[in-house]
Structure 1
Amino acid sequence: MISRINEFLDMWGIDIWQATLQTFQMVGISLLISILLGLPLGILLVLTRPGKSLENRYIYQVLNVLINIIRSVPFIILLFFILPFTKLIVGTTIGVQGVIVPLVVYTAPYIARLMETALLEVDRGVIEAYEAMGIATKDIIWHVLVRESRSSIILGLTIATIGLIGATAMAGLVGGGGLGDLAYRFGHLRYEADVMYVTVVILIILVQGLQSLGNRVAARLKKD
């Protein structure tokens, strides 16, 4: 058993390590950009909806419809559909660099919707109390909305990150690199079952670890 494991690591260890690093790279970069886009979009959705401080029916409806359209398209279809746009933005459609654009396009609207849901959970009475004191809207956003909903935001980002990991696995179909690419090229196309099993185990460990971490952080923030 030990000798078989050593033999497997000698043959595939470097490839699996590189694929894991590529997955972390894709998830990390895409998640950061998606948060920078999704959080403001989520806030804008909340503030421009009917009855809110910056109520604007047109902006809200446009954002709402656009986010729904993007979220209704499965990632694998979106991946191929925006290949020309990806090529225009980053100059390539393969490798880690080539999948960042579709990953962001897929994840940012999802995060925006999760942020909207989290922010809407904040007690309306708390917001009205700050508004009555003449606190500026921008201060209410960061010191009331975001602060009061930070536990839900963390849980939402955890869900989005796990979904992003799944999307990076599908990105292997266009040579995006990462664990999905390794599992597809070698585990599926070349019938290397051991490679498939190991990549699945690594993905399970990543997801379980992230979910546990997200739950702990959210629980701690809720107590503070």
Structure 2
Amino acid sequence: MNKIVSNYKNIINEIKSYEKEFYESAKKIDLVAVSKTFPTEKIELILNLGHRVFGENRVQEAAEKWPILKKKFDNVQLHLIGPLQSNKVKIALEVFDVIQTLDREKIVLKIKEFKENYEQKKAHKFFIQVNTGNEQQKAGIEPNKLIDFVSWCKNDVNLEIAGLMCIPPINESGTKHFKILSSLAKKSSVKFLSMGMSNDFKEAIEFGATHVRVGSGIFGKRD
């Protein structure tokens, strides 16, 4: 069996096992297969198994790879899990189905502008990235500003927020940050939680993750 196929099947089985183990706090888990930097022939190995939820970090890279793949495979749901610059909003809305990295008013207003003025009929889901570690170098809204930001998006801009996303600091256990994000989701009445990656998605599921982002655990190390 191909290594990527084997890795994928193992991850799926692990997720199913954790769903049962943490059934009180876990919801149905979507595996976001993070395909950034990987060529289409590797991605197709997973698509051929029926997997349809993928994540990319860079808008331009996704725009080069995914339109062809989406024509070849139906019902793909592509998530942007990397930073979104204001000059890339239009192409991001064309390529992606879910944007997980909203973190400032400027981007939200750009999205609203394009969806209104360009008659963008495609349905999108939007997540807010939360900087749970308050790291200066990292994108994401500060936790103490989140509830007001969610309210502003929904009520002032009429942009429905589906979920929250976080990337814990590299040198810390993710558990603390998963707890923070889970608590914020409840306080802000947000349904989905994108948290947990290849090395800590079990802990994320324990604290209510609905989406886990796994790249190297499936595709192997990046060059």
Note whether the superposition's TM-score is higher than 0.5. no
Structure richer in strand, relative to its length: 2
Please tell me the TM-score bracket, short chain as reference. Answer: under 0.3
Larger gyration radius, structure 1 or structure 2: 1
